[in-house]
Amino acid sequence: METRELHDVASVRDERERFVPRGVATTDLVVARAEGATIWDADGREYLDFAGGIACQNLGHNPETVVRAVHEQVDRYLHQCFMVGIYEPYVEVARRLDELWPGPSETKTLLVNSGAEAVENAVKISRAATGRPGVIVFDRAFHGRTNLTMAMTSKLVYKQGFGPLAPEVYRAPAPYPYRGVSVEDALAGLELLFKQDVAPTAVACVVLETVQGEGGFIPMPAEFVHALRHLCDRHEILYVADEVQSGCGRTGPVWAISHFDVEPDLLVSGKTLGGGLPLAAVTGKAELMDSVEPGGLGGTFSGNPVSCAAAGAVLDALAAPSFRERADEIGRLVRGRLDELASRHAAIGEVRGLGSMLAIELEAKSGDEAKRVTVAAREQGLVLLSCGLYGNVIRLLPPLTATDEELERGLDILDAALA
């Protein structure tokens, strides 16, 4: 195949329209290179990146240790199917995730390619371990785009026209205090679900994002997380923590659920785990992970050695005390500025989040204003993403290695875009 130099922005946009289906939603940004908190487009224009490839770059773009680890692994071998020949990078990532497990249990880890694949395998493991079919998920959940995870995801755009979807998925309310759904409301909805839709004895697992990501950066209240853990224990249901977006240091500790001192049964991770390469994991209590017969788990590229080499460097960085300290500092700085913006911009209905996983929800139940703000910000050199059931939430995912100057500059642009 002919090797071509990168074209200018307009040419790449034109070719995107010709060769890529419209179902792949994109912005008009054409990236040529990236470093730290900065990306440059094909015409050389510079942008601050507060999107991070949707939370895949908590360490920033091209961190030196990750790039070095990738280069070293590439010189050894690019691929070995772990089921054909075991290799150290896979085992090392599993060992490191065991060390970072948020609880006292002995754990094991399955590596896969994406967050959706990890969620699907967590359900498979839960069903094998319990002998039950049911899966409980929650309002505003996002768990992926496979057939099963589409059924688990709540937003219609991700599954409209793709049915029939996988059965035995049941949806319950999740707390959303800003829109009037309390912890008590959510727990009452779960009890109602058990009375009218599925018996708890038929449920294998509940799957909950500790901070709902695509659903609007809504942190689950500690009271709800503890009550859900108690409910799972009472009915012998497995608690699966989906930390694909909220994990890998995004909220300060490596896993957001650590804020609540609750140990899940299984934990799903991804995005930043691979340092920019495709990698995700299911880590769980050893006896549950071993409930699946040999051959029941795996995949040709699952736990690719180059991705695992990158993950080893990522996990080294996440385990350093200085990383947590800086993440907490960023959370305080950004939260302070967002609160100040909310005091001046009437369009902002709520500032919320956990640690440095922060967002503003605009008052109107429409995505029009959020789209206007994100487009205006990009025109001024800041990349932002919207989310939420109504598309009216603007989420901030700056690298946790960003400087104070970069953060302040980005927030100044957001201020101007809101105006």
7, pLDDT greater than 80: no
What is the residue type of 224? F
3, pLDDT greater than 60: no
**pLDDT in the model for residue 1:** 46
105, pLDDT greater than 90: yes
Cα dihedral 276, 314, 256, 138 sign: positive
Helix, strand, coil tally for the chain in percent (to 5): 40, 20, 40
Using DSSP's 3-state secondary structure scheme, residue 215 falls into: coil
27, pLDDT greater than 90: no
Question: Per-residue pLDDT averaged across 29-46, rounded?
Answer: 93
4, pLDDT greater than 80: no
Q: Average pLDDT of the chain?
A: 95
Count helices and strands (H / E) in the chain: 13, 17
What is the residue type of 88? E
Question: pLDDT (tens digit, 9 = 90+) per residue, 336-353?
Answer: 999 999 999 999 999 999
Q: How far apart are CA 187 and CA 357, in angstroms?
A: 25
**Contact criterion met (CB below 8 Å) for 211 and 138:** no
Question: Per-residue pLDDT averaged across 103-121, rounded?
Answer: 98
**pLDDT in the model for residue 185:** 98
Question: Per-residue pLDDT averaged across 223-246, rounded?
Answer: 98
399-to-54, 319, 326, 402 alpha-carbon distances in Å? 11, 16, 11, 5
Using DSSP's 3-state secondary structure scheme, residue 193 falls into: helix
Question: pLDDT (tens digit, 9 = 90+) per residue, 128-149?
Answer: 999 999 999 999 999 999 999 9
Say which residue the tokens 């091209």 belong to. Answer: 62
**pLDDT in the model for residue 26:** 84
**pLDDT in the model for residue 117:** 98
156 exposure class (CB count in 10 Å sphere: 0-12, 13-18, 19+) = exposed
**pLDDT in the model for residue 162:** 95
**Contact criterion met (CB below 8 Å) for 37 and 401:** yes
Long-range contacts of 85-93 (CB under 8 A, 24+ apart): 87/305, 87/308, 89/303, 89/305, 89/308, 89/309, 89/311, 89/312, 90/303, 90/305, 90/308, 92/308, 92/312, 93/279, 93/281, 93/303, 93/308, 93/311, 93/312, 93/315
**pLDDT in the model for residue 283:** 98
Question: pLDDT (tens digit, 9 = 90+) per residue, 286-306?
Answer: 999 999 999 999 999 999 999
DSSP of 273-297: GGBTBS-EEEEEEHHHHTTSPTTSS
318, pLDDT greater than 50: yes
Q: How confident is the model at residue 12 (pLDDT cuts 50, 70, 90)?
A: confident
Question: pLDDT (tens digit, 9 = 90+) per residue, 58-69?
Answer: 999 999 999 999
Question: Per-residue pLDDT averaged across 85-91, rounded?
Answer: 96
Question: Per-residue pLDDT averaged across 68-94, rounded?
Answer: 96
Q: How far apart are CA 313 and CA 92, in angstroms?
A: 11
What is the residue type of 2? E
List the one residue out of 202, 201, 196 whose CA is nearest residue 172.
196
**pLDDT in the model for residue 16:** 86
List the one residue out of 321, 323, 315 whose CA is nearest residue 275.
315
8, pLDDT greater than 90: no
Peptide bond into 177 cis (omega under 30): no
* Beta strand 357-362 pairing with 348-354: antiparallel
pTM over 0.75: yes
List the one residue out of 188, 176, 168, 286 whose CA is nearest residue 231.
188
Domains of the chain by range and CATH? 9-62+323-418 (3.90.1150.10), 67-319 (3.40.640.10)
Q: How confident is the model at residue 6 (pLDDT cuts 50, 70, 90)?
A: low
**pLDDT in the model for residue 29:** 85
DSSP of 390-416: TS-EEEE---TT--HHHHHHHHHHHHH
pLDDT: which is higher, 35 or 5: 35
Using DSSP's 3-state secondary structure scheme, residue 346 falls into: coil
